[in-house]
Amino acid sequence: MLLFSRQGCIRLQKWFVAAGERERRQTRRELLTTVLARAPRSSSCLQWRDLRIIYKRYASLYFCCAIEEGDNELLTLELIHRYVELLDQYFGSVCELDIIFNFEKAYFILDELLLGGEVQETSKRVVLCAVQEADDLQVVSWFFDKLSHDTAKPFGITHDVLGTLFPFPGRRSHIGSLGSELLLMKSRNTLVRPCS
Amino acid sequence: MSRVFGRALAVLPAELGGSAPGPLHTLLSALASASSRQEEESLVRKELSIIHQQLNTANFNPDVASECLVRLIYCATLGYPIGFCTIHALTLAQRGSSWHKRLGYLACCLLLHENHELLLLLVNTLMKDLQSGGPLEMGMALMVAGQLTPPHAVSSIMPIVIDKLAHSREFVRQKAVAALTFLTFRSCSDKSLDNENSDNCHPSNSYQRDVFLRAFGDRDPSVMAASLPALLHLAKRDPDWCRTLVPALVGVLRQVIEGRLHGDFSFHGVPSPWLQIDLLRLFSLLGKGDHGTSQQIYEVLGECMERARSKQMSAWAVLSECIRTLSVLPPHLELWTRASDFVGEMLQSSNANLQYMGVRCLADMARVEPGTVLCHRPSVMCALEQPDPAIRRRTLELLCRVVGQENVEAVCGHLLSALRDTQDPYEARSLASRTLDLAYRFSPNSEWLVGIVTEVLSMREEIIPPDEPGRFLWLLVKEEEESAESLKFHALQALMASSTAISSRTSQPLLRAITWVLGEISHVQPDLSPADISSRLSRILVPPASRQGSHARASSLSIPIETQAWLLTGLSKVLSRQANELGNASLITEQIREESKDGGQDVEMTREAGGGGEGGSFARKDTDHFLEKAEIFSKVDDQIKNMNASQKNQTSSSPEVIEIKVNGSQAGLSSEECNESGMGERVDIMGTSDVDQDKVCLDKYETEAGKSEISKEDSGTRQIKLPLPTLDLLSDDPCIQQLIDELRRLWASPSLFATVLPASPGCQTPLVDPSLPFLDGFVAEAMRKGAAPYIPPQLRQLDKQGSSYDAREIQVSGAFSESVGHGTSPTSTAGNSWAQEAGSDASADVPQPATRVWGPEGRTRCPSPARPTATTSLPTPLSGSESGSRPSSVLGAVSHEESREREKDEEIQEGRKKLAAALFAGVGNIQEHGSLSRTNRDLSPASESTKDVSSHTALALSTEEFGKLWTSAIHETRFAVSPPDAPGLPNHLPVAPGKAWLLDFAIQALSAVGFHNVATAGQELLFAAQDTKTGAPLLLHCIVLLTGDIQLCARAKAPRLVQPMALSVQRALSSPPWPALNQKS
Mean pLDDT of B448-456: 83
Beta-bridged to residue B1035, according to DSSP, are: B1024, B1051
> Cβ of A92: how many Cβ atoms within 10 Å?
8
Beta-bridged to residue B1015, according to DSSP, are: B1022
Please give the interface size between A and B, counted as residue pairs whose CB atoms are below 8 Å apart.
Answer: 216
Burial bucket for residue A39 (CB in 10 Å: 0-12, 13-18, 19+): exposed
Chain B residues with CB under 8 Å of A6 CB are none
Chain B residues with CB under 8 Å of A74 CB are 313-314, 316-317, 320, 353-354, 357
Inter-chain touch A123–B222, beta carbons under 8 Å: yes
Chain A residues with CB under 8 Å of B360 CB are 73
User: Best residue in A75, A112, A185, A189 to probe B by mutation, most B CBs within 10 Å?
Assistant: A75
Mean pLDDT of B161-184: 84
Contacts of B417 by beta carbon, 8 Å cutoff, 6+ apart: none
Distances in Å between the Cα of B285 and the Cα atoms of B181, B239, B243, B251, B801 are 18, 7, 10, 17, 45
Chain B residues with CB under 8 Å of A181 CB are 169
> Cβ of B868: how many Cβ atoms within 10 Å?
6
Q: Does B587 touch chain A (CB under 8 A)?
A: no
Chain B residues with CB under 8 Å of A141 CB are 97-99
CB of B1021 within 8 A of CB of B959?
no
Confidence check: pLDDT of B934 > 80: no
User: Best residue in B132, B161, B222 to probe A by mutation, most A CBs within 10 Å?
Assistant: B222
Confidence check: pLDDT of B813 > 70: no
CA angle, B643 then B648 then B649, to 5°: 95
Distances in Å between the Cα of B1046 and the Cα atoms of A1, B328, B1009 are 32, 21, 17
Spatial separation of the C-alpha atoms in residues B622 and B583, rounded to whole Å:
25
What pLDDT does B706 receive? Answer: 41
Distances in Å between the Cα of B597 and the Cα atoms of B592, B627, B638, B745, B747 are 8, 11, 16, 22, 18
Question: DSSP state, B238?
Answer: -
Q: Among candidates B532, B923, B983, which has minimal Cα distance to B723?
A: B532
CB of B1055 within 8 A of CB of B794?
no
> Cβ of A79: how many Cβ atoms within 10 Å?
26
Q: Does B357 touch chain A (CB under 8 A)?
A: yes
Spatial separation of the C-alpha atoms in residues B650 and B644, rounded to whole Å:
10
Burial bucket for residue B29 (CB in 10 Å: 0-12, 13-18, 19+): middle
Nearest-CA distance B230 → chain A (Å)? 11
Chain B residues with CB under 8 Å of A134 CB are 98-99, 102, 136
Q: Does B322 touch chain A (CB under 8 A)?
A: no
What pLDDT does B730 receive? Answer: 57
User: Best residue in A34, A54, A78, A142 to probe B by mutation, most B CBs within 10 Å?
Assistant: A78
DSSP characters for chain A? -EEEETTS-EEEE--SS---HHHHHHHHHHHHHHHHTS-TTS-SEEEETTEEEEEEEETTEEEEEEE-TTS-HHHHHHHHHHHHHHHHHHHTS--HHHHHHTHHHHHHHHHHHEETTEE----HHHHHHHHHHHHHHHHHHHHHHHIIIIIHHHHT--HHHHHHHSS--S-THHHHTHHHHHHHHHH---------
Spatial separation of the C-alpha atoms in residues B521 and B492, rounded to whole Å:
7
User: Would you place residue B711 in the very low, low, confident or very high pLDDT band (cuts 50, 70, 90)?
Assistant: very low
CB of A1 within 8 A of CB of A13?
yes
Which of B169, B260, B356 lies closest to A43 in CB terms? B356
Q: Among candidates A69, A27, A15, A10, which has minimal Cα distance to A45?
A: A69
CB of B275 within 8 A of CB of B259?
no
Q: Among candidates B1069, B983, B973, B927, which has minimal Cα distance to B372?
A: B927
Beta-bridged to residue B1049, according to DSSP, are: B974, B1037
What pLDDT does A131 receive? Answer: 77
Inter-chain touch A72–B256, beta carbons under 8 Å: no
B81-95, B1042-1056, B1065-1079: the lowest-pLDDT one: B1065-1079
Inter-chain touch B352–A14, beta carbons under 8 Å: no
Confidence check: pLDDT of B902 > 80: no
Question: pLDDT by residue (tens digit) across A163-179?
Answer: 444 433 333 333 333 33
Higher pLDDT among residues A151 and B416, named by residue:
B416
Contacts of B345 by beta carbon, 8 Å cutoff, 6+ apart: B358
Distance of CA B208 to the CA centre of its chain: 38
What pLDDT does A62 receive? Answer: 85
Most confident by average pLDDT, B359-368, B554-563, B660-669, B947-956: B359-368
Which of helix, strand or coil describes residue B230?
helix
Which of B:153-172 have CB within 8 Å of A? 169-171
What pLDDT does B797 receive? Answer: 56
Which of B:82-111 have CB within 8 Å of A? 97-99, 102-103, 106, 109-110
Distance of CA B549 to the CA centre of its chain: 40
Q: Does B117 touch chain A (CB under 8 A)?
A: no
CB of A131 within 8 A of CB of A112?
yes
Question: pTM (2 decimals)?
Answer: 0.60
Question: pLDDT by residue (tens digit) across B255-309?
Answer: 888 888 777 777 887 888 888 888 898 888 888 878 888 888 888 888 888 888 7
- Return left, alpha or beta for A92; rule: phi > 0 is left, psi -120 to 50 is alpha, else beta: left
Higher pLDDT among residues B691 and B1053, named by residue:
B1053
Question: pLDDT by residue (tens digit) across B842-868?
Answer: 333 333 333 333 333 333 333 333 333
Instruction: Report the chain A residue with the minimal C-alpha distance to residue B83.
Output: A21
Instruction: Report the chain B residue with the minimal C-alpha distance to residue A19.
Output: B113
CB of B934 within 8 A of CB of B983?
yes
**Identity of the residue numbered A177:** S
Higher pLDDT among residues B728 and B102, named by residue:
B102
Nearest-CA distance B276 → chain A (Å)? 11
User: Best residue in B97, B172, B359 to probe A by mutation, most A CBs within 10 Å?
Assistant: B97
Spatial separation of the C-alpha atoms in residues B116 and A19, rounded to whole Å:
11
CA angle, B513 then B519 then B520, to 5°: 90
Beta-bridged to residue A13, according to DSSP, are: A2
Q: Does B255 touch chain A (CB under 8 A)?
A: yes
Mean pLDDT of A102-120: 81
Mean pLDDT of B84-101: 78
What pLDDT does B1071 receive? Answer: 63
% pLDDT > 70, chain B: 60
> Cβ of B202: how many Cβ atoms within 10 Å?
14
Inter-chain touch A19–B353, beta carbons under 8 Å: no
CB of B927 within 8 A of CB of B369?
yes
Chain A residues with CB under 8 Å of B427 CB are 47
Chain B residues with CB under 8 Å of A107 CB are 106, 110
Backbone angles phi, psi at B974, to 5 degrees: -115, 140
CB of B574 within 8 A of CB of B723?
no
Q: Among candidates B270, B275, B330, which has minimal Cα distance to B297?
A: B330
Chain A residues with CB under 8 Å of B179 CB are 115-116
Q: Does B481 touch chain A (CB under 8 A)?
A: no
Spatial separation of the C-alpha atoms in residues A36 and A14, rounded to whole Å:
19
User: Best residue in B353, B396, B434 to probe A by mutation, most A CBs within 10 Å?
Assistant: B353
Contacts of B907 by beta carbon, 8 Å cutoff, 6+ apart: B899
ipTM exceeds 0.85:
no
Higher pLDDT among residues B623 and B315, named by residue:
B315
Q: What is the 3 state secondary structure string of B394-420?
A: HHHHHHHHCCCCCCHHHHHHHHHHHHH
Average pLDDT score, chain B = 66
- Taking the alpha carbons at both ends of chain B, their separation in whole angstroms is 65
Spatial separation of the C-alpha atoms in residues B270 and B274, rounded to whole Å:
10
Inter-chain touch A74–B25, beta carbons under 8 Å: no
Inter-chain touch B427–A97, beta carbons under 8 Å: no
What pLDDT does A129 receive? Answer: 79
Contacts of B589 by beta carbon, 8 Å cutoff, 6+ apart: B636, B637, B638, B639, B642
Chain B residues with CB under 8 Å of A28 CB are 79
Contacts of B852 by beta carbon, 8 Å cutoff, 6+ apart: B814, B846, B863, B864, B948
Spatial separation of the C-alpha atoms in residues B477 and B488, rounded to whole Å:
8
What pLDDT does B1042 receive? Answer: 63
